[in-house]
Amino acid sequence: MSEMELVSKLSGIVGETNVLHDPDRLSAFAVDGVVPRAVVSPGSVEEVAKLMAFATAEKLGIIPRGNGTKMGAGGIPRKLDVVLSMLRINRITEHDVPNLSLSVQTGLTLAEVQKKLAATGKGSFLPLDPPYTDKATIGGIIATNGSGPRRYLYNTARDLLLGIKAVLPSGDIVAFGGRTVKNVSGYDMTKLLVGSWGALGVITEITTKLLPLPEASATLLTSFDDLAKAVALTRKVLHSVLLPSAMELLDGKAAARIGEQGRYLVAFSLEGVVEAVERQLGEIGEMATREGAVATKTLKADDDRTFWVGIRDFALAADSAVILRANFPIAKLAELLALYEKAAQAAGIECAFIGHAGNGILHCYSADAAKTGAFAELIGQFTAEAAKREGNLVVEAAPRSLKEKVSVWGQPRSDTVVARRLKEKIDPAGVLTPGRFVGGI
């Protein structure tokens, strides 16, 4: 199909003004250097359905997109004909204030949703805090199962969603959980679509649980000279009755980049009624002193909020070209962080590390992307060490030159076979995000 024919067909579905095909502007929508032939912006779910049916009939490569905060992740696309912008699919369709639930289309940003929720009734919030909240759309967050420090208390999107609506590659509009347009039995499709990177369907709407806004919040920072002592504190809190909403471990480089000090820094976010917050500040502070903390510091109000935005959006502060995420059993945090620090130093690559100390996740941030060969070897080493400890490693962001030398999804696992079979069943033409998801599907 010629470019003129493609643009004409797309314009017939969404309108000429909602099709971008100017070569000079299309480069801004490239994925790992692959430039699309067009960008379309449907204004309704029905238009998304028509676009997907057309793409499948013509075997076009389609990548859904919000504000592009996650486009640097995933594998290099094998094919990209059309970028499907979801920004016009952006309504709150139902807000049940008394029962704390929300149905919202996926083109809205999380920041917009949170602002509207906070201003309604007594105030509520969607307990997700993924990176780039101000720009990240609901669709991008759900499709990538994005989360942040507060997953320690509130878990991830998979645990929060009550239902989901999507458009399959066939053009069928489907819904799972709650009221349905068309139900498909056999799979728990809500959980399958969360974190599927758009490979199985275009998510158009979610229904989710909400929580009341906490009465008070504060942060306790504890500094240590010794990694083992820092991790010992996180374990004591983990096995206590105390319940912070986040518990993050930063190495010295990460701490310095957000304006804090310490060889290792453990940060606790505390939320709830005033009395509970103050009590936990005191108890964790005492525990930190007993474990050998060299300093403690309390943050409240704007300082509290600013600190956690800095953690959440650390990649921006660190000017990171490469972001890695390792997962492993919680008990292996100290061991793995020590190995990673030593390996990075030996490779001559500057890295900053931040770990979700209560979830077994460790992020590595680096601006040394130009050291492609050395970095590729380091990623291989990081991945192997995580795999030895029943974990794995994912490349969340990297230049194409580095992606070409590594496995961005880490070591293959048994569930890759299941994902491939699902892809073949739901998207036999392979039109959605070809090559970007696990196993190159």
Q: Where in the chain is the domain with CATH 3.30.43.10?
A: 3-85
- Token reading at 82: 């059309």
Confidence (pLDDT) at 439: 87
This prediction's pTM: 0.93
Cα distances (Å, whole numbers) of residue 142 to 99, 285, 391, 402, 429: 22, 36, 22, 26, 24
d(CA 351, CA 250): 12
For 352: left if phi > 0, alpha if psi spans -120 to 50, otherwise beta; the answer is beta
d(CA 141, CA 123): 22
Confidence (pLDDT) at 184: 47
CATH fold, domain 216-312, is Alpha-Beta Plaits (3.30.70)
Q: Tell me the CATH number for domain 92-212.
A: 3.30.465.10
Asked whether the beta carbons of 36 and 30 are under 8 A apart, the reply is yes
Looking at the DSSP bridge assignments, the partners of residue 355 are 249, 362
Q: Mean pLDDT in runs of 10 for the chain (441 residues)?
A: 92 97 95 97 98 97 96 94 98 95 97 97 95 94 94 92 95 80 58 92 96 97 98 97 97 95 96 97 98 97 96 83 96 97 97 96 94 96 97 95 96 87 94 94 90
Pick the CATH number of 314-403 from 3.40.50.2300, 3.20.20.140, 3.30.70.2730, 3.30.56.10: 3.30.70.2730
Residue length of the chain: 441
Rg of the chain (C-alpha set): 22
Q: Where in the chain is the domain with CATH 3.30.70.2730?
A: 314-403
d(CA 123, CA 212): 6
Quickly list DSSP for 173-228: EEEESSS-SS---SS-HHHHHTTSTTSS-EEEEEEEE-EEPPSEEEEEEEEES-HH
Asked whether the beta carbons of 40 and 51 are under 8 A apart, the reply is yes
Confidence (pLDDT) at 178: 64
User: Which of 283, 236, 245 has the alpha carbon at shortest distance from 267?
Assistant: 245
Torsion angle (degrees, nearest 10) of CA 376, 392, 196, 368:
-30
Supply φ then ψ for residue 428, to 5 degrees: -60, -25
Let me know how many helices (H) and strands (E) the chain has, helices first.
Answer: 17, 19
Cα distances (Å, whole numbers) of residue 266 to 113, 152, 229, 276, 281: 30, 14, 10, 20, 13
Q: Where in the chain is the domain with CATH 3.30.70.2190?
A: 216-312
Q: Tell me the CATH number for domain 3-85.
A: 3.30.43.10
Confidence (pLDDT) at 414: 82
d(CA 243, CA 260): 24
Place of tokens 């989710």: 208
Strands (E), 31-186: 38-40, 62-65, 82-85, 92-96, 101-105, 124-125, 161-167, 173-176
CA 360 from chain centre, in angstroms, equals 16
Confidence (pLDDT) at 191: 86
Quickly list DSSP for 304-349: HHHHHHHHHTHHHHTT-SEEEEEE--GGGHHHHHHHHHHHHHHHT-
Asked whether the beta carbons of 268 and 298 are under 8 A apart, the reply is no
